[in-house]
Amino acid sequence: MTDTSLREINRKLRVRQIPVEYIKRPVEERKFDFNEVVLGYTPETAVAEASRCVQCPEPQACLLNCPANNDIPEALWLISQGDFLGAAKVFAQTSTLPEICGRVCPNLCQQGCVLNRYYGPVSIGKLEAFVADIARAEGLFKINVPEQKTGKRVAVVGSGPAGLTVAEDLIKLGHDVTVYEAWPVPGGVLVYGIPNFKLEKQVVLRKVRDLEEAGVKFITNTRVGEDITIDELMEQFDAVFLGTGAGVQARMNIPGEDLKGIYTSTDFLIRANVPAEMRPPHMQEPPEVGRRVAVIGGGDSAVDCARTSIRLGAEEVTIVYRRTEAEMPGNKTERQVCIDEGAKIEYLQAPVEYIGDENGHVKAMKVVKMELGEPDSSGRRRPVPIEGSEFIMEVDTVVLAIGFWPDPLLGEKTPNLATHKWGLIVADEETGRTTREGVFAAGDNVHGPDLVITAIAGAHKAARSIDAYLRGEKVEPIPPPPPRKR
Ligand code: SF4
């Protein structure tokens, strides 16, 4: 019997649609440490969960919803047949970081799954992580490089998901790759932005080690634009890729924002989640967390900070968000996990002033209630303050998690590298070409904060263009945008 007819029978016979749970550490255990919360599937439960996939005919909604076009039905079929390594290979065809995406992706694929409406989607992300972990442990993800090198050299700036992807794609094509990272350890946002309880640092560092073994060089503690310029890199390398992400924190610019006890989310998460030996010297002190913590914002970062606060011993943790749940960005499942761990969320509220005590430490914030007005440029309804609704919320610690933008330094220090609003690099989404010859970019520094898998998808395209450029094929830099009207 052919594989196709087996699948056909399988589709017709499928009756058990109750989701098979993966193992998660109980709240009362996990909220006292920073270890990973999700322990995942066993081989038996993975087969059972993957068998729920009804192998939809093309076009499958799960696949269409995945920015990297992972062949999810094929991978799930292989898992249901017990072929875990085969499934891992399928994920690895389109994703350089399947064990990481499986852990942190908000699972757009699952939102598209046809089972979602009545039974709950197939747990694609956790299955992806399960098979990818096995494959890496078995050495299946070893990066093979051609014996014949091209002699071309590429500098990759940033070692987050986009940088690691470009590095892997190009080393596999025979180019020499050197990755520059501003932090002490490679991994970018994967190490410094995502807490350990969602993604253990070792998972990322294993990937870095594989790249090193393939010949990729990592130069850490080096901020391009400050310690070395793009012009200097262009003298040493044949092409430069910018995968610097969006790590600069937005501020609210309201009174009292500089009081002690108020942290940006990046500062807070690094001090709390990253081991001291991996933190820079100025971030050695852990954050001081009082009894009552307010986290301002509504995205994944806000949720991460709330869960971190709980682990640091805070008794009352409140996420304060200026819109309603319907407009909230980020992963809904993670939000529920955060609530399960004891945080609460106050919607339609925003601080307008932070109030300090006699020692200059925050002790309260003045909060205004909001209502939703007309949609703004993001398409979401704009929060409008309700006049006279201000009230005082007592707090001991505040964490600001209200948005991220790219480091403006590269645009400021690099001739002919055009940037636009909030320092985003002007780059063609299909090729990664920037306005500077030989310089390519993809990921959050081009489109703003987005998913790991979106950065990977853009980085694959940029790597293909860099390879074409290095082989002498013409890849035009995109023309600079017309001067902005003031
Ligand atoms: Fe399987 Fe769901 Fe994809 Fe259909 S949409 S192929 S059921 S994972």
- Alpha carbon of 55 to ligand 1 centroid (Å): 6
Mean pLDDT of 314-322: 97
Confidence (pLDDT) at 484: 41
Phi, psi of 468 (to 5 degrees): -65, -45
pTM of full prediction above 0.85: yes
Which residue, judged by its Cα, is nearest atom 5 of ligand 1?
Answer: 113
Q: What is the pLDDT of residues 92-122, one digit of tens each?
A: 998 889 999 999 987 788 988 999 888 889 9
- Spatial contact of 450 and 444, defined as CB atoms under 8 Å apart: yes
Q: 412, 446, 416: which is closest to 244 by C-alpha? A: 446
CA separation (Å) from 401 to 170, 320, 335? 35, 10, 14
Confidence (pLDDT) at 486: 33
What ligand 1 atom has the least distance to the C-alpha of 63?
3
What ligand 1 atom has the least distance to the C-alpha of 61?
5
CA–CA dist 283, 260 (Å, integer): 15
- Alpha carbon of 62 to ligand 1 centroid (Å): 6
- Alpha carbon of 321 to ligand 1 centroid (Å): 34
Pocket test for ligand 1, best of 7, 55, 80 (most atoms within 8 A of CB): 55
Residue 14 has pLDDT above 80, yes or no: no
- Alpha carbon of 374 to ligand 1 centroid (Å): 36
Pocket test for ligand 1, best of 62, 66, 111, 128 (most atoms within 8 A of CB): 62
What ligand 1 atom has the least distance to the C-alpha of 116?
2
Tokens describing residue 371: 């209502």
Confidence (pLDDT) at 451: 86
Residue 432 has pLDDT above 90, yes or no: yes
First to last CA, the chain: 69
Mean pLDDT of 3-11: 59
Mean pLDDT of 214-224: 96
What ligand 1 atom has the least distance to the C-alpha of 54?
7
- Alpha carbon of 61 to ligand 1 centroid (Å): 7
Pocket test for ligand 1, best of 11, 76, 79 (most atoms within 8 A of CB): 76
More confident residue, 94 or 365: 365
Confidence (pLDDT) at 320: 97
Tell me the range of 172-186, 378-392, 449-463, 472-486 where mean pLDDT is highest.
172-186
Tokens describing residue 146: 């051609």
Q: How confident is the model at residue 329 (pLDDT cuts 50, 70, 90)?
A: confident
Which residue, judged by its Cα, is nearest atom 7 of ligand 1?
Answer: 53
- Alpha carbon of 50 to ligand 1 centroid (Å): 10
Strand partners, 404: 249
Residue 202 has pLDDT above 90, yes or no: yes
Confidence (pLDDT) at 8: 60
Question: Cβ < 6 Å from ligand 1: which residues?
Answer: 53-56, 60-62, 72-73, 76, 113-115, 122
Confidence (pLDDT) at 479: 64
Residue 1 has pLDDT above 80, yes or no: no
Q: How confident is the model at residue 434 (pLDDT cuts 50, 70, 90)?
A: very high
- Alpha carbon of 354 to ligand 1 centroid (Å): 48
What ligand 1 atom has the least distance to the C-alpha of 52?
7
Which residue, judged by its Cα, is nearest atom 2 of ligand 1?
Answer: 113
Q: What is the pLDDT of residues 385-412, one digit of tens each?
A: 999 999 999 999 999 999 888 888 888 8
- Type of residue at 365: M
Which residue, judged by its Cα, is nearest atom 3 of ligand 1?
Answer: 62
Query: Mean of the per-residue pLDDT values for the chain?
Result: 91
Q: How confident is the model at residue 478 (pLDDT cuts 50, 70, 90)?
A: low
- Alpha carbon of 120 to ligand 1 centroid (Å): 11
Residue 482 has pLDDT above 80, yes or no: no
Residue 13 has pLDDT above 80, yes or no: no
Q: What is the pLDDT of residues 122-132, one digit of tens each?
A: 999 999 999 99
Confidence (pLDDT) at 353: 97
Q: Domains of the chain (ranges plus CATH)? A: 14-137 (1.10.1060.10), 153-247+405-470 (3.50.50.60), 251-402 (3.50.50.60)
Which residue, judged by its Cα, is nearest atom 1 of ligand 1?
Answer: 53
Residue 485 has pLDDT above 50, yes or no: no
What ligand 1 atom has the least distance to the C-alpha of 121?
2
- Alpha carbon of 49 to ligand 1 centroid (Å): 12
